Amino acid sequence: MINITNLSKSFGKLSVLENLDLEIKEGGIFAILGPNGSGKTTLIKCLLGMVIPDKGTISINDKSILKKWDYRNELNYLPQIANFPANLSVNELIDMVKDLRPKTANETELIAHFGLEPFLKKKLGHLSGGTKQKVNIVLTFMFDSQLIILDEPTTGLDPVSLIHLKELIRREKEKGKTILITSHIMSFVDDTADEIVFLLDGKIYFKGSVSQLKERTKETNLENAIAKLITE
Ligand code: ADP
Ligand code: MG
């Protein structure tokens, strides 16, 4: 579904991605792991056309996406940092996003899933970080797309909401969707991902399943497996 070859991106002197090759197959949950600043968001933004790579190719369903925009209608994206207008209510924001996208939205069940009904009339500026993140999640999942890209989806969520998010992701996977997640929360990835890549200093250190990584490092815990991978 996604093919990335030889992708490089620098910001000034800082080389963030270096000759990265990555193939992501259709269907299932694919996680990009890596410490803060390892280039996960930059990689995602390259996929979305929000960051222009210095070199390399990116294709989705065998079509190059560079300098194209239409493909973005066919994917759902959860940004790491959602800068919502503070003066809008949750309802107003949902309606605004529905007007912006040329797709039908199904938000009612999602709002109930995250218990957001009491917050619908509240202004976004008055919501807690976790509640804002739930709104962010509703805005992402209310449209039906084959590709779902989630940048640090667990940010600010309490344990119960985290369970609701996992449920939602699993449901989408069962429908055959491709879900690309970046995270530095190992337990979340351990529970959800079918395949992972570990990104460090702009390079891929490992690509495979969580169980393959555990086997290779002879560790039963993903955190320890990653630590071993780095020091190997
Ligand atoms: P991650 O998502 O893995 O935490 P990012 O992709 O956000 O990492 O950032 C990787 C590195 O690139 C960081 O050092 C960050 O400061 C830098 N960076 C990201 N975007 C920009 C930008 N627009 N201009 C300058 N530096 C940037
Ligand atoms: Mg990031």
pLDDT tens digits along 87-104: 999 999 999 999 999 889
Which of 10, 11, 32 should be mutated for ligand 1, with most atoms under 8 A from CB? 11
Mean per-residue pLDDT, 23-31: 95
Total-model pTM: 0.94
Per-residue confidence (pLDDT) for residue 27, from 0 to 100: 95
Which of 38, 42, 154 should be mutated for ligand 1, with most atoms under 8 A from CB? 42
Determine if ligand 1 sits within 6 Å of the CB of residue 9. no
Domain that holds residue 127: 2-231
Residue 57 belongs to a domain with what CATH number?
3.40.50.300
Long-range contacts of 108-113 (CB under 8 A, 24+ apart): 110/137, 110/138, 110/141, 110/142, 110/168, 111/138, 113/164, 113/167, 113/168
- Residue with structure tokens 């996680």? 31
Looking at the CA of 37, which ligand is closest? 1
As for how many domains the chain has, the answer is 1
Query: How do residues 134-151 score in pLDDT, each as one tens digit?
Result: 999 999 999 999 999 999
Report the chain's mean pLDDT, rounded to a whole number: 93
Q: Residue 2 is which amino acid?
A: I
